[in-house]
C-alpha cells in the first residue's frame, strides 16, 4: 500500500504546508498578541501618568476621582470596568509636596498561549507612575 506513496509526489506541497502552517500561524498570533499587549501597556502608562498628575496638581481630588480620571484616559481597547486602580497613599488628597503613586493593572486576554505563558488565558498588564 505504501508503495503508491513512494512513487508519487502529488500532495507533497500540501503535506509540507500542513506541517509549517501551524508554526507560521503561531508566529503571526504571537505578533498580534505582542502588539496588543504593547498597545495596552503604552496606554495604561499614559493613563496612570494622567491620573497621578491630576492627584498632585492641588485640586483636592479624592482617590476615587483620580481613578476615574485614569479610566477616562483608557482607549477603546480596554473594558474600563476590569481596570484595577490603587493609589499610594490610599486616601487622597495628600499634603502639598507629598508623593502619590498610581498603580493600574488590567487583566488582558491571551490569544496565543506559549507554554503556560499567562495563567487562565489572562496576562496582567501593569503601570505605575509616581508624582509629587
Partner 1 sequence: MKEPMSGDCSKARDQRGFAVLLVSMFLFVILGFMGFALDLARVYDQRQQMQIAADAASLAAVNVLGSGVSYSSVLATITAVAEANSVMLEEITEVMPLCGAWADGQFYPQSAGVCDQSATAVRVTIRRAVPQGFFSFLRTAGTTLVANATSYKPLNSPGNCIRPFGVESSYLTNLNLQQGATFTISGTQGAGNWGKIDLDGNSSSGEQYTSLMLSNLCDEAIAAGNDVSVGTGNAQIRQVFDTLLMDSSSPYAYQGMVFAVTTDFPAGNGVVTILKFIRVDLVSQRGNGQGWQGTFRLVDADAEPDSQESPKRQLMQ
CA 113 to chain CA mean position, Å? 14
**Read out DSSP for 38-72?**
HHHHHHHHHHHHHHHHHHHSSS---HHHHHHHHHH
For the four alpha carbons of 41, 46, 49 and 51, in that order, the dihedral sign comes to negative
When binding is defined by CB under 8 A, the residue of 33, 40, 47, 49 that contacts partner 1 is 49
Answer yes or no whether residue 87 interacts with partner 1 by CB under 8 A.
Answer: no
Stretch that binds partner 1, among 57-65, 79-87, 104-112, 114-122 (CB under 8 A): 57-65
When binding is defined by CB under 8 A, the residue of 64, 119, 124, 132 that contacts partner 1 is 132
- Grid coordinates belonging to 123: 496576562
Answer yes or no whether residue 27 interacts with partner 1 by CB under 8 A.
Answer: yes
Q: Which of 15, 57, 5, 40 is nearest to 122 (CA)?
A: 40
Answer yes or no whether residue 77 interacts with partner 1 by CB under 8 A.
Answer: no
**Contact residues: partner 1, CB under 8 A:** 9, 12-13, 16-17, 19-20, 23-24, 27, 31, 34, 38, 41-42, 45-46, 49-50, 52-54, 56-57, 59-60, 69, 72, 96-97, 99, 101, 128-132
Amino acid at each position: 500500500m505504501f508503495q503508491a506513496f513512494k512513487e508519487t509526489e502529488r500532495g507533497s506541497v500540501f503535506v509540507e504546508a500542513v506541517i509549517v502552517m501551524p508554526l507560521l500561524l503561531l508566529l503571526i498570533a504571537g505578533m498580534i498578541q505582542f502588539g496588543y499587549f504593547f498597545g495596552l501597556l503604552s496606554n495604561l502608562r499614559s493613563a496612570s501618568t494622567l491620573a497621578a498628575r491630576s492627584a498632585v496638581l492641588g485640586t483636592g481630588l479624592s482617590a476615587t476621582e483620580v481613578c476615574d480620571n485614569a479610566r477616562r484616559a483608557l482607549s477603546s481597547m480596554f473594558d474600563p470596568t476590569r481596570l484595577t486602580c490603587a493609589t499610594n497613599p490610599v486616601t487622597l488628597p495628600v499634603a502639598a509636596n507629598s508623593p502619590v503613586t498610581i498603580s493600574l493593572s488590567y487583566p488582558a486576554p491571551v490569544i496565543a498561549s506559549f507554554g503556560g505563558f499567562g495563567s487562565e488565558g489572562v496576562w496582567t498588564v501593569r503601570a505605575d507612575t509616581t508624582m509629587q
